[in-house]
């Protein structure tokens, strides 16, 4: 596979690349660049974690990227996920790995790392302090959205460590590519700013990584919650802030689809989803069609009675969006088809946890834990 094809695959998982020129340069100089993503283990897997992430991972592995998945148990503990119970958090991490395996990811080609290994490493904490010394408290507070927390004087002081720690992970893992969600953009850009400071690349042990000592940022799309958003009311909102607020969250079960939902449950939730006629922006059903269905399938067939035009098959999202804008495709017909195709992707994961005794016991254990946002 040549550089251009690898570039196309990696760019295809992204909503934003900083920068495309650097990504191409990286691929020209490294046959197997290292990319990473980090997850706070908490709760049950929903579409973004259980279906979307595996689809992106498969494309990245095809592009000969060495992928490191960081199970951020320490961050989840700081962020008080699952009540701050570290053993429950680690159960959730093991469950996530089982979900990715059930979704068809070749986990032999993915390096899974627990953040607790960083916690025990003195050199990691040296990097955290170096980073903290080289940016302002104001910059840290602006980055707190990555922890799902707004700037608030009543927050625990531990939250202040969060951005410097996540930034240190990039250098400690020697990741060439930060391949996280768009909601993590602020801290990824902070890492690039830190790397630009004189002498920091050497001090952080990051020589030979990234491009010119800076990580390339490949930010993927944040799937919308079933509630979507009304675009006219959101025109003035900053793109990243809106992505964070409107994303699908497992702590809001009725606004999310989970990999354990039955076919009936998926249909019920999709039927209630925000999907106004002709409206594309902020429409979660079109969002899943574009980001999941057309990524997983070569074609998308919508079944409908002959009196409403009969069945129609689409081979690209652009065709479908055009028909939707022109009212040639009714929201209810689209919803029915999306529910069907999502179930095709979810069913193997759901059935794995039903058939496999150890996986089922792990799922039941995590399911019993309270989810905290």
- H/E element holding 66? strand 66-71
Final residue of a structural domain among 173, 188, 219: 219
Residue 135 has a pLDDT of 94
Q: Are 73 and 122 members of one domain?
A: yes
- Tokens representing 220 are 């993927």
- Tokens representing 231 are 């675009």
303-341 pLDDT, tens digit per residue, is 999 988 899 999 999 999 999 999 999 999 999 999 999
Decide the pairing of beta strands 16-18 and 216-219: antiparallel
User: Domains in the chain: how many in total?
Assistant: 2
Give Cα separations from 211 to 130, 159, 165, 274, 323 (angstroms): 21, 30, 22, 42, 42
In this structure, what CATH number is given to the domain that contains residue 273? 1.10.240.10
Residue 157 has a pLDDT of 85
Final residue of a structural domain among 176, 196, 219: 219
Final residue of a structural domain among 219, 254, 274: 219
Q: Are 322 and 270 members of one domain?
A: yes
Residue 196 has a pLDDT of 95
Q: Are 207 and 247 members of one domain?
A: no
Residue 155 has a pLDDT of 75
- Tokens representing 99 are 């979900």
Kindly write down the DSSP assignment for every residue of 238-279, as one continuous string: -HHHHHHHHB--TTSGGG--BTT--HHHHHHHHHHS---TT-
Residue 231: phi and psi, rounded to 5, are -60, -40
Q: Are 163 and 81 members of one domain?
A: yes
List, for the chain, all residue ranges whose pLDDT scores fall below the cut of 50: 236, 373
Q: Are 243 and 195 members of one domain?
A: no
Partners of 39 in the β-ladder: 71
Range of the structural domain that residue 61 is part of: 3-219
Counted residue by residue, the chain has a size of: 373
Q: Are 199 and 236 members of one domain?
A: no
Residue 9 has a pLDDT of 97
Q: Are 27 and 84 members of one domain?
A: yes
Q: Are 258 and 198 members of one domain?
A: no
Query: Is 296 within a domain?
Result: yes
Question: Whole-model pTM above 0.85?
Answer: yes
In this structure, what CATH number is given to the domain that contains residue 27? 3.40.50.620
Residue 236 has a pLDDT of 47
Q: Are 280 and 204 members of one domain?
A: no
**Closest among 193, 189, 218 to 204, alpha carbons compared:** 193
Q: Are 129 and 264 members of one domain?
A: no
Q: Are 144 and 36 members of one domain?
A: yes
Query: Is 191 within a domain?
Result: yes
* Cβ atoms within 10 Å, residue 264: 10
Angle of helix 161-172 relative to helix 185-196, nearest 10 degrees, comes to: 70
């Amino acid at each position: 596979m040549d550089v251009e094809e690898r570039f196309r695959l990696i760019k295809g998982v992204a909503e934003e690349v900083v920068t495309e020129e650097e990504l191409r340069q990286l691929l020209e100089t490294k046959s197997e660049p290292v990319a990473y993503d980090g997850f706070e283990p908490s709760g049950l897997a929903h579409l973004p974690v259980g279906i979307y992430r595996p689809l992106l991972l498969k494309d990245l592995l095809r592009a000969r990227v060495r992928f490191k998945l960081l199970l951020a148990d320490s961050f989840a503990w700081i962020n008080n996920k699952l009540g701050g119970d570290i053993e429950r958090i680690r159960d959730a991490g093991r469950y996530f790995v089982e979900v990715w395996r059930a979704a068809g990811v070749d986990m032999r080609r993915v390096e899974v790392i627990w953040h607790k290994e960083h916690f025990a490493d003195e050199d990691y904490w040296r990097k955290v302090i170096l980073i903290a010394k080289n940016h302002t408290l104001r910059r840290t507070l602006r980055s707190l959205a990555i922890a799902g927390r707004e700037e608030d004087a009543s927050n625990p002081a531990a939250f202040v460590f969060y951005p410097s720690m996540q930034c240190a992970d990039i250098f400690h893992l020697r990741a060439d590519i930060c391949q996280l969600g768009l909601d993590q953009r602020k801290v990824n850009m902070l890492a690039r700013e830190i790397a630009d400071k004189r002498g920091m690349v050497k001090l952080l042990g990051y020589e030979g990584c990234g491009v010119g000592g800076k990580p390339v940022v490949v930010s993927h799309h944040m799937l919308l919650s079933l509630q979507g958003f009304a675009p006219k009311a959101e025109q003035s909102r900053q793109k990243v802030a809106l992505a964070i607020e409107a994303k699908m969250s497992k702590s809001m079960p009725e606004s999310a689809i989970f990999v354990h939902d039955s076919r009936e449950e998926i249909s019920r939730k999709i039927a209630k989803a925000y999907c106004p006629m002709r409206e594309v922006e902020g429409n979660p059903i079109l969002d899943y069609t574009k980001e999941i269905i057309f990524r997983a399938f070569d074609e998308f067939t919508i079944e409908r009675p002959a009196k409403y035009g009969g069945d129609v098959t689409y081979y690209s999202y652009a065709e479908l969006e055009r028909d939707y804008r022109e009212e040639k495709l009714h929201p209810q017909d689209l919803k029915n088809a999306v529910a069907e195709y999502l179930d095709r992707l979810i069913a193997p994961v759901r059935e794995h946890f039903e058939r496999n005794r150890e996986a089922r016991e792990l799922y039941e254990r995590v399911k019993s834990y309270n989810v905290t946002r």
